[in-house]
Structure 1
């Protein structure tokens, strides 16, 4: 059943590319690159969440990242 989720995510990404890519002017190299990279990163994260639903979210990552800074500043 997890593979159905992966196929669904892949289908959504393909539709996004199919719809948005032709609308971007060929001169917009940076915009096209950013669109492709962000879409792929989002797709990879979505697929990872299908297989590992207990994976920590972005707020937990930020809390772990800033915990030493909070201790240093005496905030927590």
Structure 2
């Protein structure tokens, strides 16, 4: 079932890249759209395959957690 979700995600990402690529006039804009979409696709595929990985909120809590405890914000 995970592979079906991954295939659907790849299809949707491909459609987004195709539509945005056609509407963009400059080469830099086309590359930026493709790079951002492919980066998001890779992250989404990793989270589909390994859902137990921590998310970005937990990462930020790890980084800022000690500072917020010292400032008494928790």
Name the TM-score class by shorter chain: 0.7 to 0.9
Instruction: Name which structure has the greater RCO, CA cutoff 8 Å, separation 6+.
Output: 1
Residue number in structure 2 paired with 1:18: 18
Q: Residues 65 and 33 (structure 1 numbering): CA distance in 2 closer, same or farther, change over 3 Å?
A: farther
Runs in 1 of length 4+ with deviation above 4 angstroms? 68-71
Q: RMSD value over aligned CA atoms?
A: 1.7
Structure 2: which 5+ runs fail to align? none
Q: Give the CA deviation at 1:16.
A: 0.6
In the alignment, the residues of structure 2 paired with residue 69 and residue 33 of structure 1 have an alpha-carbon distance, to the nearest angstrom, of 38
Deviations 1:16-54 (A, max 9, x none): 1121111000x351x222211111111011111111112
Q: Does 1:3 align with 2:8?
A: no
- TM-score (normalizing by structure 1): 0.79
Q: Residues 67 and 35 (structure 1 numbering): CA distance in 2 closer, same or farther, change over 3 Å?
A: same
SS at match of 2:15: helix
Q: How many residues align?
A: 72
